[in-house]
Amino acid sequence: MSSSPRHIPSLDGLRALSFLLVFVAHAGLEHSVPGGLGVTVFFFLSGFLITTLMRAEYEKNHFINFRHFWLRRALRILPPFYLVLIAATAASIYLLPGSVAVKPVAAQALHYSNYWIIDRGYEGLPAGTGVYWSLAVEEHFYLVFPWLYSGIQKLKMSARNQAVVFWSLCALVLLWRCVLVFGMRVSVDRTYMASDTRLDSILFGCALAVWKNPVLDTVGFREARWKYLYVPAAFLLMAACLVVRGDEFRETLRYSLQGAALTILFSAAIRYPTWVPFRLLNLRPVVMIGLFSYSLYLVHYAVIAAIEIELPTWHPAVQGVLAFGTSLTLSWLLYVWVEKPCATLRRKLSD
């Protein structure tokens, strides 16, 4: 089978789309723009890409090097993560004296800020670092996922059965959300941020990576059927998830239906990047935003918070433009000076 993919069509564009949804929502349009969908796309993309890379490694070497996996993960996530956290903490102390507390920052540094926020709220966190909860979800998932994936491979399951395992786990997570929402009446934050209630958004991506993977697998697809049936149906399903506003639906079935829709949309966007709905994902400016998306995700909310504090009388649209430009500049610096050198080390671990 093919070696680790170096470039996947539409993937950077999907990263860009997910970030832009989050950014625009945080910039003041959260009631009109689904920032939460951006996070769900991030989760799905992460599961798909990392499982694709693990699968390529297993098919090449017949085993998963756990130490290399976690080293690559650390090099990808941790240097920008801690640099931005330190900078945001220092900026908050300067701009908002007394607003930062040790324990909430420690929760972020130790990757359990999602459960901290669920239990105690955002008080004491550095301004603009609330987004770190989603990184905690991913870190929890990838502590255990290599063991799960390696165990499945040792059982010599077919690709389809591997996907069924992941989809079954998604169904269990949905059932658990229903218990929490309908039986225990938990808060929205509990189902939105907790690792045990959101890992299915990652698992849907993992399932696509192991069966009918648009990067690694050559399978027969009826292009017309995808173009005129599956993709429009997926867009309609995604739209329905955004239109239905009831909290009970949004915190239970919504994430599962979005995972099903994203399975189709990701597969089509990667296989057919020249189709009209997916061309924008491959434009150079969009790809550039996708390339910087991780650093953009880390810095943008802190930048928005700083601008709102320092320039409170400026029009929100002007604040948003300034925040985007500033975030893009900081992210470019992080990409050049931190992410690229770390990527070079990661590639050495993959060779």
Please list the pLDDT of the chain residue by residue as tens digits (351 residues): 444 566 899 999 999 999 999 999 999 999 889 999 999 999 999 999 999 999 999 999 999 999 999 999 999 999 999 999 999 999 999 888 778 999 999 999 999 999 999 999 999 999 999 999 999 999 999 999 999 999 999 999 999 999 999 999 999 999 999 999 999 999 999 999 999 999 999 999 999 999 999 999 987 778 899 999 999 999 999 999 999 988 899 999 999 999 999 999 999 999 999 999 899 999 999 999 999 999 999 999 999 999 999 999 999 999 999 999 999 999 999 999 999 999 988 887 776
C-alpha distances out from residue 27 to 1, 187, 304, Å: 44, 24, 7
Range of the domain at 141: 11-350
Tell me the DSSP string of 39-64. Answer: HHHHHHHHHHHHHHHHHHHHHHHSS-
| 181 part of a folded domain | yes
In the numeric block, the tokens 């430009």 are attached to 325
| 4 part of a folded domain | no
Q: For residues 150 and 57, is the Cβ–Cβ distance under 8 A?
A: no
Closest CA to 323 of 12, 17, 19, 90: 19
Residues 6 or more apart whose Cβ sits within 8 Å of residue 25: 33, 34, 35, 36, 38
| 91 part of a folded domain | yes
Tell me the DSSP string of 182-243. Answer: IIS---HHHHHH-HHHHHHHHHHHHHHHHSS-TTT------HHHIIIIIHHHHHHHHHHHHH
Model's pTM, two decimal places? 0.95
For residue 160, which amino acid is it?
R
* DSSP-derived 3-state class of residue 124: strand
Euclidean distance between CA atoms 186 and 177, whole angstroms = 9
Q: For residues 85 and 299, is the Cβ–Cβ distance under 8 A?
A: no
Give the pair of three-digit tokens for residue 7. Answer: 């470039």
Max distance between CA atoms of the chain, in angstroms, equals 62
Give the pair of three-digit tokens for residue 19. Answer: 């970030």
| 337 part of a folded domain | yes
What pLDDT score does 2 carry? Answer: 44
C-alpha distances out from residue 35 to 32, 131, 242, Å: 9, 11, 11
| 1 part of a folded domain | no
| 2 part of a folded domain | no
Q: Is the Cα dihedral 314, 299, 21, 120 positive or negative? A: negative
| 54 part of a folded domain | yes
For residue 306, which amino acid is it?
A
Residues 6 or more apart whose Cβ sits within 8 Å of residue 280: 13, 286
- Number of structural domains (the chain) is 1
| 5 part of a folded domain | no
CA 155 to chain centre: 29
What pLDDT score does 3 carry? Answer: 46
What pLDDT score does 86 carry? Answer: 97
DSSP for residue 22 = H
What pLDDT score does 5 carry? Answer: 61
What pLDDT score does 1 carry? Answer: 41
Euclidean distance between CA atoms 149 and 147, whole angstroms = 6
